[in-house]
Structure 1
Amino acid sequence: MKLPLKHIVILVICSLTGIFVYQAYWLTGLYRTMKQEMESNIRDAMRTSDFNEIVLRVNELQKDNVEHGSVTVSAGYGADGNSLVTSQTISYTDSTYQDTLHSRTETMVDTLKTATGDGAIAEAVASSESGLDVLLKKQDSLKDLLVSIQQGIHSGVDTYIDVNLQRYDSLLMVVLEEHNLSVPHRTLLIYTGSDADSTVTFTDTLGIAGDSSYIPSPKAIRYDYEFNRHRSQRYQLIIEPVGAIIWKQMTGILVTSFIILLILGFSFWFLIRTLLKQKTLDEMKSDFTNNITHELKTPIAVAYAANDALLNFNQADEKSKREQYLRISQEQLQRLSGLVEQILSMSMERRKTFRLHPEEIELKGVITPLMEQHQLKADKPVNIQLEIEPETLTIVADRTHFGNIISNLIDNAVNYSKEQAELTISCRQTGKTVIISVADRGIGIPFEKQKHIFDKFYRVPTGNLHNVKGYGLGLFYVKSMVEKHGGTITVKSEPGKGSTFTITL
């Protein structure tokens, strides 16, 4: 069961639409994922840079400890009154400087213990069904815990050394560049507070760093990171929307997706075009089969009737009648032979074993007999003028098929002329190239039809010339044989003024 062409077209369109929609959905999802990841990277970069800035300030404190004495850093007190984060170093000599560094390292471990209580972790593990794994799987809880610890350290260090905004900005840009986010920006240090009775809240910008030439647009995005425990101080990073950066990073994927869609679109278009051509060809073949069946029966029936009259109705005794019937039989058999020969030539041309038998032939010796044959069989006056330069011009070609080429062109010129056929056949040599043209003064061919006249089974509408019969094989055969000889054929025509077919070999 054949699927109708319109159903195939609908399926193809639905397939392309589905692929396009899925591709758009996938790209949109990828964009959102990359955007979320990039924004997460920005916030992590702000937190990491803040930690690095604290470490650098702690290093400065340690240097001061070595030179000036001991310093105790506290990040607040717990419910029991004990210090949550305490780092104390007492030293005045260079020999104990390494102990100072060791003390700072141990402080981070002590911080985690004191911040959660001495037995908090052990109690959490004991109370959980799966032990420590459950606690470690709670990524958000651990992250919040680390941020809280970092804020506690921040509060203690800020007591002795103020935040260095310029250094923080430099550290932040290094981390952002690692994530391919080197963009114009502003970094602000903001303080938020209130009056004594908490009735008025105010915000003050304590410092600005970053690109001095950058002026944020109305669409600029602001990322905040609150670094102290009271949420009164925060860093603010101002940059333009990251959408353009994400699209730039997705350029390779977008180009690849676009190329894939183009290839699919072209493939489906070519498929539909091929199906349409195949459908047209099938219809033409069906028409050809119907027409050729009728045309084959006609000469056979006429020749049979003439022969039957001679044999069974004593028409052979009268000379004029006998000659008339014999002539009719001969004409019909010639017509039948020509039709069969044309069909066989088409079949042979498509065979892989088809071979030409080229030989050197004289153009005048081949064309002159063809002119006489067409003048004799034509039912209208035919005047053919032959021009050959030089007169002994020869070419290397298959004699039979070359004769059929010229015969087809002459036959078309005669058939598509009106009351009288005026033809000019010219042959000339240009260098190693032979140019043969057959010109007539017939009805001509419309310009939009000229590109189709060499197609198989195609026939140009003949207007009021209803006596022109054919099957759309002649010019297709001519073009095929000319190309087999390594040549080309072109046509120039204008309706009402005739046509000129030019063969170059």
Structure 2
Amino acid sequence: MRTSDFNEIVLRVNELQKDNVEHGSVTVSAGYGADGNSLVTSQTISYTDSTYKDTLHSRTETIADTVRTDTGSDEARAVASSESGLDVLLKKQDSLKELLLSIQQGIHAGVDTYIDINLQRYDSLLNNVLKEHELEIPHHTLLIHTGRNADSTVMYIDTVGMAGDSSYIPTPRAVRYDYDFNMSRSQRYQLVFEPVDSLVWKHMTGILTTSFIILLILGFSFWFLIRTLLRQKTLEEIKSDFTNNITHELKTPIAVAYAANDALLNFNQAEEKTKRDQYLRICQEQLQRLSSLVEQILSMSMERRKTFRLHPEEVNLKELIVSLVEQHQLKADKPAQITLEIEPKTLTIVVDRTHFSNIISNLIDNAVKYSKERADITIRCRQTEQTVTISIADRGIGIPLDKQKHIFDKFYRVPTGNLHNAKGYGLGLFYVKSMVEKHGGTITVKSEPGKGSIFTITL
């Protein structure tokens, strides 16, 4: 409002300059003299029109009388008594802003004497400033005069003029801003419009949206970081458990085979055929166990290599699975009844023979291992129009539902409670799933604790 007022004053001064060209020139300067005792008022007037001369002279005398009257005030005398009136003025004002405001009010008083305020023009200037600040809102601009009657008993407020949007009707919530433009505070501009809360929120939409998106990104980043750290911690614990477990698994067959071989060499056990055969069989079983363990670890290491490639060939399922069944029945530590159902009997499949044998061997080994006193296993192979389905079902201890989603994870082992003879290292099913997917197939599991499990491979 103050900026628009200053611009309106400048425009009126420009109009006065145009009048000077037509009627003469007027120069008015006001300030304290070097002696600090009197207010200097200099007037240079050139007249070309007698009527304008009389009017201008009358107005000039009024200004002079007003200025001389103000000079008699205590503040003016205090300033006049100083060595430099400007220094004292700067010291008395709280800020440069207030000093500039006082100068503007003084200019206002002088210009208002010569030419009246143009309220419509002031409103237009104010509207431009509001638009620069993106405040295009309906408003009223009022010119208000405040005064008292002759005996100063009654105070009155007059609305001298009104500009702005004619269709706008202020509500009780309307906000009013006043700007007093003269020193006596008897005249002021008043700006009336509705609260701009919604407009402010609208302007802040971009900032708030960006801040919200950044907050979401930061939140997601922190969540992902914490999740990654927790997973790394869990993985470290699993790796540590795996290292301890695999160390024990490797040491056990070595220790047993060493003990059996030591008995044959150092305790004359080789002379008795029964003992010799028993110890040799123990050595063979433990070496097979050790070989199987190393083979699976190496297979998993190969699977991770970028150069890993399958070598598919056509394989007769019956021949492959029958051979595996005989091996597992021979080495099982409990009675094992394994039933094979293949339809058609001559069913063949294109797979990597070595890795596919390991897949079926792992599933049969688990079925035997997690059966109770007796292993009762059924292997079914079926061919449809486009797929081959191989299922291995047992009647063992089963897998809890909440654990089934983890059984194909690397190093994961389902807790077996008091079942101490079910040893492993959490790589078998991870290897099975990886190799099945390498062959372009899928593997699923259905299980119920106490009733057994069914693993189904679809290729």
TM-score with structure 1 setting the length: 0.70
Larger Rg: 2
In structure 1, what is the Cα distance between the partners aligned to 2:415 and 2:160? Answer: 89
Residue range with higher mean Cα deviation, 340-349 or 317-326:
317-326
Deviations 1:285-311 (A, max 9, x none): 222222222222221222222222233
Alignment of 1:335-354 (within 5 A): 335-354=289-308
Distance 1:87 1:406, change over 3 A: farther
Q: Tell me the CA shift for residue 280 of structure 1.
A: 1.9
Q: Summarize the alignment of residues 177-196 of structure 1 with structure 2, pairs less than 5 Å apart.
A: 177-196=131-150
Shift of 1:468: 1.0
Give 1:139 deviation, angstroms: 7.1
SS at 2:430's partner residue? helix
Q: Among residues 372, 388, 410, which one is paired with 1:456 in the alignment? A: 410
Cα 1:139–1:193 shift into 2, 3 Å:
closer
Structure 2 letter corresponding to 1:232: S
- Residue 47 of structure 1: aligned partner: 5
Deviation at 1:484, TM superposition (A): 2.5
467-476 or 137-146, which deviates more: 137-146
- Amino acid in the other structure paired with 1:194: R
**1:262 is matched with which residue: 202, 216, 233?**
216
Deviations 1:426-451 (A, max 9, x none): 33344444333333333322222222
Per-residue Cα deviation, 1:366-404 (whole angstroms, up to 9, x for no partner): 222222222232233333333434433333322111111
Contact 2:317 2:347 in 1 (8 A): yes
Q: Quote the residue 2:348 is aligned against.
A: 394
Letter of the 1:306 partner, please give it. A
Query: What is the distance in 2 between the residues matched to 1:169 and 1:459?
Result: 82
Paired position in structure 1 for 2:186: 232
Q: How far 1:80 sits from its partner (Å)?
A: 5.5
Within 5 Å, which residues of 2 pair with 1:105-120? none
What's the counterpart of residue 117 of structure 1? none
Deviations 1:1-51 (A, max 9, x none): xxxxxxxxxxxxxxxxxxxxxxxxxxxxxxxxxxxxxxxxxx355425644
User: Corresponding residue for 1:149?
Assistant: 107
Alignment gaps of 5+ in structure 1: 1-42, 93-113, 115-123, 129-136
Aligned to 1:316: 270
Structure 2 counterparts to residues 27-426 of structure 1, below 5 A: 43-44=1-2, 46-47=4-5, 50-51=8-9, 54=12, 58=15, 82=41, 90=49, 141-142=99-100, 144-158=102-116, 163=117, 165-166=119-120, 168-211=122-165, 212-216=167-171, 218=173, 220-242=174-196, 244-426=198-380
More displaced 10-residue stretch of structure 1: 286-295 or 236-245: 236-245
- The answer for unaligned runs of 5 or more in structure 2 is 32-37, 52-66, 68-82, 88-94
How far, CA to CA, are the matches of 2:318 and 2:270 in structure 1?
A: 40
CA RMSD of aligned residues (A): 3.9
Match of 1:132 in 2: none
| Count of paired positions | 414
Aligned to 2:433: 479
* SS of residue matched to 1:359: strand
The alpha-carbon distance between structure 1 residues 369 and 173, as it changes in their structure 2 partners (threshold 3 A), is: same
Distance 1:62 1:453, change over 3 A: same
Is the contact between residue 443 and residue 495 of structure 1 (CA under 8 Å) also seen in structure 2? Answer: yes
Q: Distance in 1 between matches of 2:400 and 2:264?
A: 48
User: Take 2:47 and 2:134, find their aligned partners in 1: how far apart are those partners?
Assistant: 40
Matching residue of 1:469: 423
**Partner Cα separation in structure 2 for residue 439 and residue 251 of structure 1:** 61
In 2, Cα distance between equivalents of 1:296 and 1:327: 18
Name the TM-score, length of structure 2 as normaliser. 0.76
- Residues in 2 aligned to 1:427 and 1:340: alpha-carbon distance in whole angstroms: 29
Q: Please give the per-residue CA displacement for 1:54-102, whole angstroms capped at 9, x wherever unaligned.
A: 579x59x979x99xx969999998876847898977499xxxxxxxxxx
Moved more, 202-211 or 358-367: 202-211
Secondary structure at 1:316 match in 2: helix
Q: Name the CA shift for 1:381/1:152 in 2 (closer, same or farther; >3 Å).
A: farther
Q: Which residue in the other structure is 2:395 paired with?
A: 441
**C-alpha distance after superposition, 1:328-351 (max 9, x if no partner):** 111111111111112222222223
In 1: Cα distance, 2:267 partner to 2:217 partner: 73
